[in-house]
Amino acid sequence: MLEKSATEMATALESGEVSSVELTKAHLARIDEVDSKVKAFLHVDKAGALAQAEDVDKRRKSGEKLSPLAGVPLALKDVMVQKGIPTTCGSKMLEGWRPPYDSTVVTRLKEAGVIILGKTNMDEFAMGSSTENSAYFPTHNPWDLTRIPGGSGGGSSAALAAFEAPLAIGTDTGGSIRQPAAVTGTVGVKPTYGGVSRYGLVAFSSSLDQAGPCARTVLDAAYLHEVIGGYDPLDSTSINAPLPPLVSAAKNASVKGMKIGVIKELQGDGYQAGVLKRFNEALDELAKLGAEIVEVSCPHFKYALAAYYLIAPSECSSNLARFDAMRYGIRVGEGSAEEVMNATREVGFGKEVKRRIILGTYALSSGYYDAYYGSAQKVRTLISRDFEAAFTKADVLVSPTAPTTAFKIGEKANDPIAMYLNDIATIPTNLAGICGISIPSGLADEDNLPAGFQIMAGAMKDDRLYQVGAALEAALLSKWGAPILSKAPKLGAI
């Protein structure tokens, strides 16, 4: 059962072939078996998960009509608050904090009967691309335990790839759902900004942060997206409009007659040859399915990374001011409020978080504001216009998700710029507030590690991601003969 998709598990639950308690126990046993190696979880809530599973089983027995994913287990990124369950956001700052309320995403998961197994590891406050910035421990890529699982949501993606959970929640500010999906051979979706509520998501960069589904198949991601997505009055940036139909888009996948735009600026120098090769082969598959492949140019994308690394740190310097030793988490030292705050922030925040707070504070300071933050906001507009122009020529846009496959743990840990470059292809989407998906494109020749294929669509056109993603996934599946994850090393008996 563990290797099945969430949708297959849901069918087995519905037919009574397996109970949610059995399924949950099997996943908890799998976590016990492999997580000492993978280290995807910061906290496993065995009792809570089993209680939830018992409840779903009871409701099913009583004939209640349940939602499609009822009884299926899920791993939750530790950036998302869940009432009574430790939420650290990968930081020492929040060690021991138990939130007094549920985020909207958690409320919706619970209402749908999705079983929350526990909280997954992440880069501190979602800042990073490798999960090495977690204040607790790095997570290991199940394909090769000496390599990173991507970041910041490496825990969620590693849990999927190690068959510790069939579904997971991530958040994507600049790529943290899609890049981990790419390097673990899984599927990750960054929904349209405002499409999934941010209520109860620990804020990093509020104008960019977006929660989304992580899964092993496109259809599973669509089901999960429908559970968590849609208007929420508790989030002032939530879009007050119904989600487009996502599951039916995935089920009726066809690209016949569609125009698919290849972004010229998101390939070439800096991209690993094997990643590009799989990308181009995937384009051939889409062409064989009847899509028209066109090239588009987005000339301002070369400034996207620079703009992001002004906007995200600026917003984080403001958002993280709430960690003042008075309201949340740890408190260190004695003396005046300022002395206690200083001592707490010194101990509570890691190196990368401090770097960004300093950068952001500088960029927002009087005299520099226009030159840095103001210019970055203008670039953001230019990037949105590049997308708008490109979407007049194509229905969806595509690129490799990440320039390389998973690198070694430690390889880029002391080189922030090299780390930032991982998100070169994912960041423009966040800056423009549109949506993107990463699906596996195959294994790169150099290292036999998974590469990702990114599909981007305009705001509230998330259905197109699923439509094109599912069509490509099906074509690649018949080419490979088996899901890409079946080629990953077995980390123990399944």
> What is the contact surface with ligand GLN in residues (CB under 6 A)?
126-129, 152, 172-176, 204, 312, 423
Q: Which two structure tokens, joined as six digits, stand for 386?
A: 């590049």
Which CB, 126 or 161, lies closer to ligand GLN?
126
Residue 176 falls in the annotated catalytic set: yes
Tell me the torsion sign for CA atoms 466, 470, 476, 482: positive
Distances from the Cα of 324 to the Cαs of 123, 241, 283, 330, in angstroms?
20, 37, 50, 9
CB of 430 to ligand GLN, least distance (A): 7
Tell me the torsion sign for CA atoms 425, 481, 273, 127: positive
**Does residue 189 contact residue 465 with C-beta atoms inside 8 Å?**
yes
Amino acid at 371: A
Interior/surface letters 61-70, b for 16+ CB within 10 angstroms, e for the rest: eeeeebbbbb
CB of 219 to ligand GLN, least distance (A): 24
CB of 6 to ligand GLN, least distance (A): 23
Could you say which of 103, 152, 238, 441 is catalytic?
152
Which CB, 208 or 443, lies closer to ligand GLN?
208
CB of 322 to ligand GLN, least distance (A): 18
Which CB, 163 or 303, lies closer to ligand GLN?
303
Could you give the CA distance from residue 327 to residue 434 in angstroms, rounded to a whole number?
34
Could you give the CA distance from residue 126 to residue 120 in angstroms, rounded to a whole number?
12
Could you give the CA distance from residue 376 to residue 472 in angstroms, rounded to a whole number?
35
Residues pairing with 77 in the sheet = 120
Could you say which of 5, 19, 39, 77 is catalytic?
77
Which CB, 126 or 258, lies closer to ligand GLN?
126
Which CB, 173 or 238, lies closer to ligand GLN?
173
Query: What are the backbone dihedrals phi and psi of residue 182, each rounded to the nearest 5 degrees, phi first?
Result: -60, -45
Which CB, 204 or 407, lies closer to ligand GLN?
204
CB of 305 to ligand GLN, least distance (A): 10
Could you say which of 176, 317, 438, 441 is catalytic?
176
CB of 393 to ligand GLN, least distance (A): 28
CB of 470 to ligand GLN, least distance (A): 24
Beta strands at 435-443 and 396-400: parallel, antiparallel or unpaired:
unpaired
Residues pairing with 292 in the sheet = 259
Residues pairing with 229 in the sheet = 196
CB of 127 to ligand GLN, least distance (A): 5
Could you give the CA distance from residue 125 to residue 306 in angstroms, rounded to a whole number?
20
Which CB, 120 or 173, lies closer to ligand GLN?
173
Catalytic positions, written as ranges: 77, 152, 176
